[in-house]
Amino acid sequence: MDILNEVLNKIKPSEEDKEYIYKKIEQVLEKLNGLDVQIHGSFRKGTWLKGDTDVDIFVFFPKSLGKKYVENEAVKLLLEKLKGLDITIAYAEHPYIIVNLDGIEIDVVPAIKINKGEEPITAVDRTPFHTEFINSHLTEKQKDDVRLLKRFMKGIGVYGAEIKIKGFSGYITELLITYYGSFVNTLKNASKWKPPVKIELVKPQRNFQCPLIIVDPVDPRRNAAAAVSLKRLAEFSIASKYFLERPSIDFFFPKNPENGKIKGDILITIIRLKDKVVEDLLWGQIYKSIEKIRNSLENTGYKIIDIQAYGNSDKVIIATQLESRNIGKYYINRGPLFYMDVDGFIKKNENIWIGEDGRLYSIKERKNGNIEDVIKNNISIKYNYSIEQYWLDKEPEENCLKQFLVKTPSWLK
């Protein structure tokens, strides 16, 4: 397929790219001399994309030192060793260090050294076995197929296992190509997926309840695809179907969204973070807040079209789209069937009548019709922040909000 060759020419790194990154890695390795160091990530596996390098340097410590040592003392040791470089502390399950060398980011990650088959102490302890499995199961041609699958998933917006995205990790793309054999064959199968989708490279040692189940061949007790939401699975499945029917480079490199006509009433809530935040913790709190906002608005009587959140560690935008911001002062309160316990309903309500369906009903006054306050009161973020709100009455400048309005992605048109 000509399109795939065109995409691959754009995303496959050259030997010069590889040599340049190795030189940057060597600068970090020199600083870490004397420690148990290994290179991992997509760079080591040969599945990285040009201009989007994923280099992980793991520093392993004995199991006897324990998790607390990795979280505290190991990080202090690495910071001391890397002194003089452009470094930033980042956080996942435990702290790690990002080294920036002329635009190349290298993650230096402390971990516990375990034997194959042992229970990991931290989430990253399995990494050497993941690298070994992928390098021993994928051909060079299949590694190019992984590159195509990664770019395809990035293009349609489903790539990334972090809480903010709830999508497909790089390791999952590698396992999909391992299982299905090629990029095209992966899409052919994905276009027919019906959840729960089960992919067993090895026999599972647990029962998993998720939309997508890919048993980790390194640890059969783990579902490697646990982060993938039903929404992301559905988006990937539909995109796979439409790409096979009408291939286009837009799937890999989508166009900017067109201006869309505003439908419904949209309230924009901008949350500006004042603290340094851990992204996964922040987005976990954002999604919980959205669920509370949704429930409160529905309980108040508003009909919701959609609620979405966008942003980063500095600013988060919550866009709430309603059928209408104008609703009546009163609403119909649906009660129990006549043969159930109706005493409590009758005592608490006025203007009661029995409907054609045999239920009791009443008319109630809405307690809180102020949408702005409903949203503000249901944002639960454990960081310092400020809030701005406005109703969207013209085409937005931000691409994320254009996507929210237009909704239909460019590749689906």
Residue with tokens 């505290």: 72
Dist CA 188 CA 60 (whole Å):
40
Looking at the predicted structure, is the pLDDT value of residue 259 above 70?
A: no
Mean pLDDT of 277-303: 91
Question: Which H/E stretch holds residue 198?
Answer: strand 197-199
Output the DSSP codes for 329-375.
SEEEEEEEETTS--HHHHHH-SS-EE-TTSEEEEEEE-S---HHHHH
| Per-residue pLDDT at 255 | 84
% of the chain beyond a pLDDT of 90 = 76
Residue 107, annotated as binding a ligand: yes
Yes or no: domain 138-251 corresponds to CATH 1.10.1410.30: yes
Task: Tell me the pLDDT of the chain averaged across its residues.
Answer: 92
Q: What's the CATH fold of domain 2-117? A: Beta Polymerase; domain 2 (3.30.460)
Whether residue 117 is predicted with pLDDT greater than 70 in this model: the reply is yes
**Given a cut of 90, is residue 399 above it in pLDDT?**
no
Average pLDDT over residues 278-290: 93
Say if residue 258's pLDDT is above 90: no
Q: Is 70 exceeded by the pLDDT of residue 265?
A: yes
| Tens of pLDDT, residues 306-333 | 999 999 889 999 999 999 998 888 888 8
* pLDDT at residue number 330: 86
- Stretch 283-290: mean pLDDT: 96
Q: Is the pLDDT of residue 368 over 70?
A: no
Q: Write the pLDDT tens digit of every residue in 171-194.
A: 999 999 999 999 999 999 999 999
pLDDT, position 329? 83
Q: Band of the pLDDT at 286, cuts 50, 70, 90?
A: very high
Whether the pLDDT of residue 347 is over 70: the answer is yes
Q: How many Å apart are CA 318 and CA 375, to the nearest integer? A: 9
Residue with tokens 């419904």: 264
- Asked whether the predicted pLDDT for residue 85 surpasses 90, the reply is yes
**Residue 392 is which amino acid?**
L
Determine if residue 54 is labeled as part of a ligand binding site.
yes
Cβ(93)–Cβ(124) below 8 Å: yes
Least confident of 214-218, 268-272, 368-372: 368-372
Tokens read off for 235: 């988006």
SS (H, E, C) 328-339: CCEEEEEEEECC
Per-residue pLDDT, averaged over 59-65, amounts to: 94
Task: Return the percentage of the chain with pLDDT > 70, whole number.
Answer: 99
> What pLDDT does 53 receive?
80
341 is in an annotated binding site: no
pLDDT > 80? residue 157: yes
| Least confident interval from 20-29, 88-97, 144-153, 213-222 | 88-97
**Of the candidates 353, 267, 349, the residue with the CA atom closest to the CA atom of residue 302:** 267
63 belongs to an annotated ligand binding site: no
Is the pLDDT at 162 greater than 90, yes or no? yes
Q: What is the pLDDT of residue 295?
A: 93
Q: Note the CATH number of domain 265-327+370-412.
A: 3.30.70.590
User: Does residue 268 contact residue 390 with C-beta atoms inside 8 Å?
Assistant: yes
Q: pTM of the entire structure?
A: 0.89
Across the range 82-92, mean pLDDT stands at 89
Backbone angles phi, psi at 407, to 5 degrees: 70, -50
CA distance 83 to 86: 8
pLDDT at 276: 84
Residue 150 annotated as lining a ligand binding site? yes
How many residues belong to the chain? 413
Structure tokens at 121: 């102490």
Domain boundaries, the chain: 2-117, 138-251, 265-327+370-412, 330-365
Give me the helix-helix angle, 127-137 and 170-180, nearest 10°: 30
